[in-house]
Amino acid sequence: MKISNILHTSFIGLSLIATSCSKSTFSDINTDPNRPASVTTPTILVTAEKQLVSALRSEEVSLRGAQLFAQYFSQNIYTDQSRYQIPTSYSDNYWTATYKSLNNLNEIIKLNTNESTKAIASAGTAGTNTNQIAIARILKAYAFQSLTDVFGDIPYESYGNKDADFEALQQDPDNLTPKYASQEKIYKDILNELQQAADTLAKYPTATTFGTADIIYKGSNTNWAKFANSLRLRVANRIKGKDAALATTHIADAIKKGIFTSNNDNAIFKYSKTSPNEAPLFRATVTANRKDFAISNVIVETLQGSRGPFKIADPRLSKFAKPTSSGNIYYGQPYGLPLAAGNLFPVDKISLPSDIINAADYGEVLMEYAEVAFILAENNNWDQSNYEKG
């Protein structure tokens, strides 16, 4: 009898809950009151820029990857990565972070093409729809090139080419496995994307797009057009051995329309001194209170002129490395030591990264004039003038 009463009471309670919770109530519960219904495109841009650069220059990809492989840095506590023991999570995280940036860049394009949002997207200092789309296309090209250089065939998306193989960034629940486009198709389309974006921005050289939300160029259409053409120069140079005719055409056109001519044109994302937007190296060392990365003996000796073909001391050593705290000399950590030997060199006896490259507001370079000068030298029979500029 008691069990019957309990069941009866429970059934009444459930019935009351079922009848009192309408669809609209459940909808209200599932709506996050702290999440904005819409975000301005300049806000999306600064997020996408940081996501993109931080993915490429993260502790995992840059500090525990490229900087070690080039032997600029050396590990002095845990030496796994300098001995080429790389967790697969590093590449997984890079993939995920870069596609997050690409989704945000694509959202900028959607907001500037959708008839119901175009006017709002171009309000205030955001700039015209066409200019916003052009800058988003340039950053997408940069991101996709970095991805395909690492992984080969990848899911790809293009603003100007509706190729059936380009299925990325659709955000379609019915297509959770987009096609992997071939690297050949991707490279060729990136060239067209950059050309069209640069040509668009060149029509409005004095216009500003995204305003101060654009960390890289502060909204300068002229600088973005130069960056697009310089990046096209890089991409075309990469395929010269596979499609010389196409590469030569794009190289000539990019140079004609305007590429980097000095360091003032460099594409740089400058981080902030304010948490949590400091540079990756700063966060991995100062914020984390760690000294895992020392300057490698290879780069120290090379810049001192005691290793390699150049026997003259390079003044950049003092900009790159700190003198040892105990002896006030430059001493690099031997590279690639086994784990047991990694801590044989106390941090006061080796050179650590300088305050310049380890600054909280360090500017990470996406592309610089030196690279452009080297590409020009290579495409002009390694002429000495451009070589020296590089």
Residue ranges covered by each domain of the chain = 41-271+362-385, 280-349
Give per-residue pLDDT as tens, 103-126.
999 999 999 999 999 999 999 999
pLDDT for 286: 92
With 70 as the cut, is the pLDDT of residue 22 above it? no
Sign of the dihedral defined by the CA atoms of residues 219, 223, 229, 231, in that order: negative
**CA–CA gap between residue 367 and residue 52 (Å, rounded):** 13
| Whole-number pLDDT of residue 18 | 44
Q: Which of 25-34, 66-75, 180-189, 305-314 is predicted least confidently?
A: 25-34
Choosing among 3.20.20.10, 3.30.930.10, 1.25.40.390, 2.20.25.90, the CATH entry for 41-271+362-385 is 1.25.40.390
Q: How confident is the model at residue 4 (pLDDT cuts 50, 70, 90)?
A: very low
Distance CA 304, CA 307 (A): 8
Mean pLDDT of 69-92: 92
The DSSP secondary-structure symbol of 324 reads P
Helix (H, G, I), strand (E, B) or coil at 163: coil
The per-residue pLDDT for 312 is: 94
- Pick from 34-43, 116-125, 284-293, 305-314: least confident: 34-43
Q: Give me the pLDDT at residue 34, please.
A: 61
Distance CA 107, CA 268 (A): 23
Question: pLDDT tens-digit profile of 312-358?
Answer: 999 999 999 999 988 889 999 999 999 888 778 888 999 999 999 99
Q: How much is the pLDDT for 290? A: 87
- Mean pLDDT for the chain overall: 91
Distance CA 294, CA 78 (A): 12
User: Rounded distance, CA 259 to CA 251, Å?
Assistant: 10
Per DSSP, 335 falls in state: T
Nearest Cα to Cα of residue 279 among 60, 63, 54:
54
Q: Do 372 and 231 form a contact (C-beta atoms < 8 A)?
A: no
Q: Is the pTM of this model over 0.85?
A: yes
Cα–Cα dist 350/327, whole Å: 9
Distance of CA 305 to the CA centre of its chain: 33
Partners of 363 in beta bridges: 270
* pLDDT (tens digit per residue) in 135-189: 999 999 999 999 999 999 999 999 999 999 999 999 888 889 999 999 999 999 9
Contacts of 288 (CB under 8 A, 6+ apart): none
pLDDT of the residue at 16: 38
DSSP secondary structure code for residue 74 in this structure: E
